Amino acid sequence: MIEFRGVNKYFGKLHALADVNETIARGEVVVVCGPSGSGKSTLIRTINRLEPIDSGQILLDGRDIHSRGLDVDRFRAGIGFVFQQFNLFPHLRVIDNCTLAPIHLGRLSPAEARDQALELLERVGLADKAQAFPRELSGGQQQRVAIARALALRPPVMLFDEPTSALDPEMVSEVLLVIRDLAHQGMTMVCVTHEMGFAREVADRMLFMDHGKILERAAPADFFDHPQHPRTQKFLADIRSPFA
């Protein structure tokens, strides 16, 4: 469904993505991990064109996402993106955050959008907070609203950029549970995260990145128990904290 062909990206002199080739199939849940600066966020942000690329191609359902005739905004509406910093719209109530896009992209009438938003908020466990403003919610609640907001456009694929990294530890699981449920419902997902327990349980495939390259690809069991590449091994050893 999503295909990277020889993708390169530079930030000045920094080679952020180095000759990336990868395919993500429909319905697959792929978790990308790696040390800071490895390019994992950059990778995921190129998928919905939040970051441009310098060479190579990215295909969605066989179509080059950088082709001239492509309507970028419509393209992005077809991909759900959840940010590390949630990025809810602070001046709008929770429900309005979720109905803004469907209404203004002409997909749904206001009434339909409201019904759908309430249904989605129910799914993430926050239907009772529909009238609240984002500042009244905890980080975990805000992130769950962000997920509902992204789902409101019924995208076939969801991207998560370190969705729990900005949360206090006690709120991490409420968000991960929502993401896990999505995965079990067959959503195609690419998730950048440090939460290895979650990855082990939910991922179909793990990708390890370092210095802009994908160094290892494996199913979770193989990845965690028998890492092949020396840097993967080092990474996994480092994150198994001596204090755990």
Partner 1 sequence: MELLENYWLYFLVGQFPNGPLGGLALTILLGAGALLLAMPLGVLLGLARVSHSRWLRWPVTALVYVVRGTPLLMVVFWAYFFLPSLTGQKTGQFATMLAALVIFNGAYLAEIVRAGIQGVPRGQWESAQSLGLRYVSTMRRVILPQALRNMLPSLVNQFVTTLKETSLGYIIGLSEVSFIASQINNQVLTQPLAIYGIAALTYFLICFGLSRLSYSLEARLNA
Chain residues that interact with partner 1, rule: CB under 8 A: 48, 50, 73-81, 83, 85, 87-91, 100-101, 104-105, 146, 149-150, 153
Q: How far is the CB of 43 from partner 1 (least distance, A)?
A: 16
Q: How far is the CB of 150 from partner 1 (least distance, A)?
A: 7
Question: How many C-beta atoms surround the C-beta of residue 188 within 10 A?
Answer: 21
In angstroms, the CA 129 to CA 96 distance is: 12
Q: How far is the CB of 117 from partner 1 (least distance, A)?
A: 13
Compare residues 18 and 92 and give the one whose CB is closer to partner 1: 92
Compare residues 75 and 224 and give the one whose CB is closer to partner 1: 75
Please give the single-letter amino acid code of residue 230. P
Half-sphere exposure of 106 (CA within 13 A, CB side): 2
Q: How far is the CB of 85 from partner 1 (least distance, A)?
A: 5
Q: How far is the CB of 191 from partner 1 (least distance, A)?
A: 15
Phi, psi of 89 (to 5 degrees): -85, 110
Q: How far is the CB of 76 from partner 1 (least distance, A)?
A: 5
Compare residues 71 and 238 and give the one whose CB is closer to partner 1: 71
Compare residues 142 and 232 and give the one whose CB is closer to partner 1: 142
Compare residues 11 and 89 and give the one whose CB is closer to partner 1: 89
Compare residues 42 and 232 and give the one whose CB is closer to partner 1: 42
- Per the CB < 8 A criterion, the answer to whether 145 and 97 are in contact is yes
The strand pair at 157-161 and 79-82 is best described as parallel
Q: How far is the CB of 92 from partner 1 (least distance, A)?
A: 8
Task: Tell me the three state secondary structure of residue 93.
Answer: coil
In angstroms, the CA 92 to CA 194 distance is: 31
Phi, psi of 38 (to 5 degrees): -80, -15
In angstroms, the CA 114 to CA 120 distance is: 10
Compare residues 103 and 126 and give the one whose CB is closer to partner 1: 103
Among 48, 47, 3, smallest CA distance to 25 is for: 3
Contacts of 91 (CB under 8 A, 6+ apart): none
